[in-house]
Chains A and B, each alone.
Chain A
Amino acid sequence: MSNAPARNTKVMNRFDLTSRLVAKLKNEEAVVGGIGNTNFDLWAAGHRPQNFYMLGSMGLAFPIALGVALAQPNRRVFALEGDGSLLMQLGCLSTIATLKPKNLTMVVLDNGIYQITGSQPTPAAGHTDLVAIALASGLSNSSWAADEEDFERLIEQSMSAEAPTLIGVRIDDKPGTGTTRRDPVQIRERFMHGLGVRQPL
C-alpha cells in the first residue's frame, strides 16, 4: 500500500536487513534502535552491548545517535528508525546536516504504515519521499537502497564516508521478530558498558 510508483526499489524485510547490518559489525559499533518493531528486530538479530533499544520517545533514534556520535567521534554509530518515527522529528535532519558527524549512518525503514498500532497508513504513505527530504535538509549523502545487496554496499560505503550517511529502505508490513526485554536502566547501563564509558560493578 505504501509503494511509491516512482521508486524503483525492492520491498525488503526489516529483520533481514537488520541481520545483514549486524553481521557486518566487527568494531564495537554503536547501534540505536528506534521505538517498536525497529528495536525488536535489532534485539532479535542478536543482542550486543553496543545496542541501545528505545522503549518510548518516538522519533529520537537519530538525535540519540547524534549525541553518541558527537561524544565518540572515533566510533561508528548506526541509527535505525521507522518512517513514522522520523516524520515526528524531521527537523533533526537539519541539525545533523549542520554538525556533519561523519561517523553516523542513519537507516530509515519505510513501510508507509504504523505497523505496531494496527498498520494504519502514515500521512506520508505513497507520496512523500523521505530520502528526498533528507537531501533537501542538507544530507547530501542520502539514497534509497535498491535491494539487499545495494543496502549492504551502502552500509559498507558509509563506514569510510566523509559525511553522515542516510539510507532509505522500503520494507514490508511484517511485525518485529522478537521482543526487547523492557528494562530501561539495564539497557542504558549495558550500553554504557558497551561504549567503554563504565565498567560493571
Chain B
Amino acid sequence: MAAATEQDPTWHGILQQTLKRNEVRLVPYVPDRVLTTLIKNLHADPYFTTFPTAREEEAVGIVSGAWMAGTRGAVLMQTSGFATLANVLASLVVPSQIPLIMIVSERGTLGEFNYGQAMVCRTMRPVLDSLAMEHHTITRLDELEFIADRSIKQAVTTQAPVALILSPLLTGGKTFDK
C-alpha cells in the first residue's frame, strides 16, 4: 500500500498521511461512498482510532470532548451530513473555540443525479459563511497536501474550526452508474 502510494499518489493516501503528520488520530465518521477507501485504510492503520457514529453531530461532540482532553480528531462526512450540523457548530464549536476539523465529501454538484442532494449542497457554504468559518474546496491533487496541512495547523493554532470540502474534481465523486 505504501509503495503504491509513493508511486501513484492518491487523494486518500495524501489525506491519511497529512492527518497522521498533524497528530490527528481520532476519526469518527458517517460514511460516504467516495470516502470508502480512506475509511478502509484508516481502519487498517493502528495509528488511528476510527469508527462510525449514528449522526454527524454525535461525531462532532466526540472530537470536541477529545480535543478538550488532549487528543486531536477530525470528522468525515458527506454534504448532507454537514447539513445536520448548524446547531452544534453555532452552539458548541464556534463559541467554545474548538478547532474542529471536518472533511466533507461534496455531493450535489458536477454530475449530481439526486435533486435533493443538489439542494442540500447549496446550503453548505452559506452556513459556513454565516458563521465566518474557514473552508476550502479542494479540486486538485497537487494542492491537497498544502491546503489540508496548512488548514489543520491553522485550526489548531487559532482554535477555530475548518471544513475541507473534497470536490468531485478531486475524488471523482459519485456518478449515476455507481
- Chain A residues engaging chain B, CB cutoff 8 angstroms: 30, 32, 52, 54-60, 62-72, 75, 89-92, 94-95, 98-99, 184-185, 187-188, 191-192, 195-197
Q: Does B66 have its Cβ within 8 Å of any Cβ on chain A?
A: yes
Interface mask (B90-132 → A, CB under 8 Å = 1, otherwise 0) = 1110011110000000000000000000000000000000000
Q: What chain B residues lie within 8 Å of A197 (beta carbons)?
A: 68-70
Q: Does B71 have its Cβ within 8 Å of any Cβ on chain A?
A: yes
CA distance A196 to B88 in the complex (A): 25
Q: Point out the residue from A30, A91, A195 that lies within 8 Å of B55, measured CB to CB.
A: A91
10 closest A-B pairs (Cβ-Cβ)?
A91-B54, A56-B91, A67-B65, A63-B61, A71-B69, A60-B61, A67-B66, A71-B71, A64-B65, A67-B62
Q: Which of B58, B68, B87 has the most CB of A within 10 A?
A: B68
- 12 of the cross-chain contacts (CB-CB < 8 Å) are A30-B69, A54-B92, A57-B87, A60-B57, A60-B61, A63-B58, A67-B65, A68-B68, A70-B26, A92-B58, A184-B95, A188-B68
CA distance A116 to B90 in the complex (A): 21
Q: How far is the CB of B9 from chain A (nearest CB, A)?
A: 31
Q: What chain B residues lie within 8 Å of A57 (beta carbons)?
A: 57, 61, 87-88, 91-92
Q: Point out the residue from B51, B55, B69 that lies within 8 Å of A98, measured CB to CB.
A: B51
Our count of residue pairs bridging A and B at CB distance below 8 angstroms stands at 121
CA distance A72 to B49 in the complex (A): 13
Q: Which of A60, A62, A66 has the most CB of B within 10 A?
A: A60
Q: What chain A residues lie within 8 Å of B66 (beta carbons)?
A: 67-68, 70-71
Q: Which of A66, A71, A95, A196 has the most CB of B within 10 A?
A: A71
CA distance A54 to B93 in the complex (A): 11
Q: Which of B53, B96, B98 has the most CB of A within 10 A?
A: B96
* Given A56-B92, A57-B92, A91-B53, also A68-B58 (CB < 8 A): no
A64 touches B62 (CB 8 A): yes
CA distance A99 to B62 in the complex (A): 12
Q: Does B64 have its Cβ within 8 Å of any Cβ on chain A?
A: yes
Q: Does B63 have its Cβ within 8 Å of any Cβ on chain A?
A: yes
A195 touches B69 (CB 8 A): yes
